[in-house]
């Protein structure tokens, strides 16, 4: 009996331990699943936003998160504003000024899906380094969901110009497609819309 009692006494804490272990394991799995869901939804939202836009891209609301990195004569470098495609021009409007590139003057157009980390200033870098315990470095791994649109064009005297815009992911391709539809020249044709819709 003593032994049995002893066994009984020793089994009871084991049950508690197993239950706690199961609870922690379950909580861990749930946490992991929640993190994965968050990551997937964060990365999928722009893609769905892009494919879900069955309306013509020109009717989409203008995005104010476009950065004119350089190349527009009346704009300072890294100005934020709205980039829209007009029937005869690509127009960039900041809070203070407007600038346009005539579609007829466009020599070539490029988008860059694989050069997401080409840009970002010292300010952002310093802000990331300010995050304690090296968190900024982890943040840097997820903070480059941007796309680049490069527009080569000529001025009234025939002089070459190049403008670089940084847009939220997926929008550069849409703008390029619109410009080509309006008659702009592009040595590399824009991606067919169907290719993106196939994505899950």
Partner 1 sequence: MKHRNQTAFPVVFALVLAAGLLIAGSLPARTSPPAQAAPAAAKLTASAIQIELLDPGDLPIPPEFRVAVYENLVAQVEKANKFQHVLRSGNRNASSAADLVILKTIAQAYTKGSQKQREVTTVSGATSIKIKAQFTDRNGKVLLEKELEGSVRFFGGNLNATNDFAKKLFTLIGETF
Whose tokens are 């480059």? That residue is: 144
Among 141, 194, 195, 198, the residue binding partner 1 under the rule CB under 8 A is 141
- Minimum Å gap between C-beta 59 and partner 1 is 28
Residue list 149-168, contact with partner 1 (CB under 8 A): 150, 152, 154-155, 157-164
Residue 113 lies near partner 1 (rule: CB under 8 A): no
Among 51, 91, 102, 115, the residue binding partner 1 under the rule CB under 8 A is 115
- Pairing mode, strands 66-70 and 98-102: unpaired
Residue 112 lies near partner 1 (rule: CB under 8 A): yes
Among 7, 41, 86, 117, the residue binding partner 1 under the rule CB under 8 A is 117
Count residues near partner 1 (CB under 8 A). Answer: 34
Residue 47 lies near partner 1 (rule: CB under 8 A): no
Residue 189 lies near partner 1 (rule: CB under 8 A): no
DSSP the chain: -HHHHHHHHHHHHHHHHHHHHHHHHHHHHHHHHHHHHHHHHHHHHHHHHHHS--S-GGGSPPPS-EEEEE--TTS-TTEEEEEEE-SSEEEEE-SS-EEEEEGGGEEEEEEESS-TTS---HHHHHHHHTSGGGHHHHHHTT---EEEEEEEEE-TTS-EEEEEEEEETTHHHHHHHHHHHTT---SSPPPPHHHHHT--
- Minimum Å gap between C-beta 57 and partner 1 is 22
Closer by beta carbon to partner 1, 58 or else 110? 110
Residue list 54-73, contact with partner 1 (CB under 8 A): 69-71
Residues near partner 1 (CB under 8 A): 69-71, 108, 110, 112, 115, 117-122, 125-126, 128, 136-137, 140-141, 144, 148, 150, 152, 154-155, 157-164
């Amino acid at each position: 009996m003593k032994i049995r009692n002893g066994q009984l006494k020793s089994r009871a804490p084991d049950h508690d331990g197993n239950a706690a272990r199961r609870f922690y394991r379950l909580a861990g799995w749930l946490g992991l699943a929640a993190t994965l869901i968050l990551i997937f939804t964060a990365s999928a939202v722009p893609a769905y936003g892009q494919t879900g836009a069955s309306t013509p891209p020109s009717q989409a609301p203008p995005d104010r998160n476009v950065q004119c990195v350089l190349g527009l004569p009346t704009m300072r470098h890294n100005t934020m504003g709205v980039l829209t495609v007009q029937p005869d021009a690509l127009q960039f409007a900041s809070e203070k000024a407007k600038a346009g590139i005539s579609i007829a003057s466009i020599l070539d157009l490029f988008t860059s899906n694989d050069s997401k980390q080409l840009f970002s200033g010292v300010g952002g870098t310093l802000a990331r380094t300010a995050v304690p315990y090296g968190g900024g470095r982890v943040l840097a791994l997820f903070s480059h969901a941007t796309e680049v649109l490069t527009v080569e064009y000529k001025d009234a005297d025939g002089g070459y110009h190049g403008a670089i815009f940084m847009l939220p992911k997926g929008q550069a391709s849409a703008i390029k497609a619109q410009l080509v539809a309006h008659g702009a020249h592009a040595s590399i044709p824009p991606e067919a819309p169907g290719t993106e819709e196939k994505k899950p």
